[in-house]
Chains A and B, each alone.
Chain A
């Protein structure tokens, strides 16, 4: 097994990225991600990893530089947050649509304005339609394991897509706890050296990359991209099993469930609120409420079928979002969960809960409050008012 170390969430991402033997790392500092690449820069400087580290002048450049390296057949890594992600949007979109596999850590942060540097998932949620795979972690062990699994998923020939490993800014990025860090030889066994056939820049064999593409061909590319997303749902489960068989830690694939088997009411969580939600479920059970939890691990591809199966036969559900969907007066994962269910208003009482914006806390009391509200409305199917975790 690995070695027990005490790390922050950001350093967990760095250590895991280093274990994946990246050829090139480029990033630009932004709170709360900055220490991910500072730590990696230190590892490169000290000779602990053999990677090219490129200091760039912006996130747009960071994403462009890693894009060039992956086009040349390399394994690459970067990290960002919020406004940095916004600035890299143009090469970010091209990364997925060129089908370039890579892993980017995203220490999720609220989008300005008002000016903020604190936690929130609005940044990651706003790029759900940019073609990347997105996994949301709860805790530092999951960050380590999903960076490693991320490359395995991204580089699978049925997938060939970039992966965002998302974790909550500060509440996870700056959380210190013990993790089991896999040994290099174990990771090497799980994640062999990368070989791409579709993207190799070789001066001896010049070819044009990304020429102007007419609509009919574009349609084929987009469909193929969507097919790869669909295929990723299976690959995610396979990689979870392979990882679990080797390292002893299984995460359940695209979703995981906690005490849902006999539950009447279910909360759906995403990211670092999940552990608190499990404690809330236990407390609710002690108070006689048959509560359960579904953790949405991957938002892209969205695990619609598994969520529908997990909620089948339940009376009520609430989806707790750490971001908003402008235009729906709800959180985005709530809308997508609804879309995954048929006859939702006949079968379930349901509502959206929104909390934790701009660094606000998603507390045990708040989550317990959501479960209690579900319990009171569970026999009245249909959508209820959005619950906001306001302080006053």
Chain B
């Protein structure tokens, strides 16, 4: 079972993106599970997402304390202690940012860092800062956990062709650094 934790802000689409990953996992014959945790349900407040993908049925319904993959949709969240907490040794960190890994303070135990300007892609293609579908492209490239064609198809089904385009472009533009 792979445990993934997402960090974003209300309005960035953490929930919708994670639900698409679950659909893609299920469509690919695996099991997927997503639990969101909101503070107050309004734009801008931190949102946590707990996402699991597994060959076996997923029984536990709890938060993710030791993620193998972190997906950070807003780089202003890296200063919060909760954001990098518990990252497994050799884990993957996917961040929406124009900064470098050093500037972002990515923990030294990370095995792989994937950075993409998802907000920039979203603003250019969709017309506003809704980075979730671009981040799914980055997630697909960095994690290899879901079939990218299945994922892109689910994105298009949910949000249309432009969002698929955003995910495809992010997939190409994501810079993955392995340590």
Contacts and interface: CB of A to CB of B under 8 A. Distances in A.
Interface string A247-288: 000000000000000000000000011111011000000000
Interface string A276-313: 10110000000000000000000000000000000000
B18 interface: yes
A365 B34 CA distance: 20
Quick one: which of B19, B38, B59, B65 has the most chain A CB within 10 A? B59
B60 A176 contact: no
Given A170-B36, A170-B37, A171-B35, A178 B61 contact: no
A176 B22 contact: yes
A138 interface: yes
Contacts of A276: 59-62
Interface in A21-66: 31
Question: Interface residues of A toward B: which range?
Answer: 20 to 34
A171 B22 contact: no
Given A6-B22, A6-B23, A175 B62 contact: no
B61 A172 contact: yes
Contacts of A175: 33-35, 61
A363 B59 contact: no
Contact of B22 (A168, A178, A272, A359): A178
Given A6-B22, A170-B37, A178 B31 contact: yes
B62 A361 contact: yes
Given A6-B23, A6-B32, A177-B32, A138 B61 contact: yes
A174 B36 contact: yes
A168 B62 CA distance: 11
B58 interface: yes
Contacts of A278: 59
B113 to A, nearest CB: 27
A278 B58 CA distance: 11
A178 B22 CA distance: 8
Interface in A216-272: 272
B26 A275 contact: no
A176 B34 CA distance: 5
A344 interface: no
B63 interface: yes
Contacts of A365: 65
A364 B33 contact: no
Interface string B1-28: 0000000000000010011001100100
Contacts of B26: 4, 6, 177-178
A365 B19 CA distance: 26
A55 to B, nearest CB: 22
Contacts of B37: 170, 359
Contact of A363 (B15, B38, B65): B65
B34 A361 contact: no
A359 B38 CA distance: 10
A147 interface: no
Contact of A6 (B19, B38, B60): B19
A355 to B, nearest CB: 11
B18 A275 contact: no
Contacts of A362: 62
A131 interface: no
A24 B52 CA distance: 37
Interface string A80-114: 00000000000000000000000000000000000
A273 B63 CA distance: 12
Interface string B61-97: 1110100000000000000000000000000000000
A171 B38 CA distance: 11
A275 B59 CA distance: 4
Nearest to B41: A31
B63 A363 contact: yes
Contacts of B19: 6, 8, 176
A120 interface: no
A170 B60 contact: no
A336 B23 CA distance: 40
Which A-B residue pairs are the 10 nearest by beta carbons? Answer: A275-B59, A178-B26, A276-B60, A176-B34, A361-B63, A6-B23, A177-B33, A272-B61, A176-B19, A175-B35
12 contacts: A4-B26, A6-B23, A6-B26, A6-B32, A170-B37, A171-B35, A172-B61, A177-B32, A177-B33, A274-B59, A363-B63, A365-B65
Given A139-B61, A275-B58, A362-B62, 12 more contacts: A6-B22, A6-B32, A170-B38, A175-B33, A176-B34, A177-B22, A178-B26, A275-B60, A276-B60, A276-B62, A279-B60, A361-B63
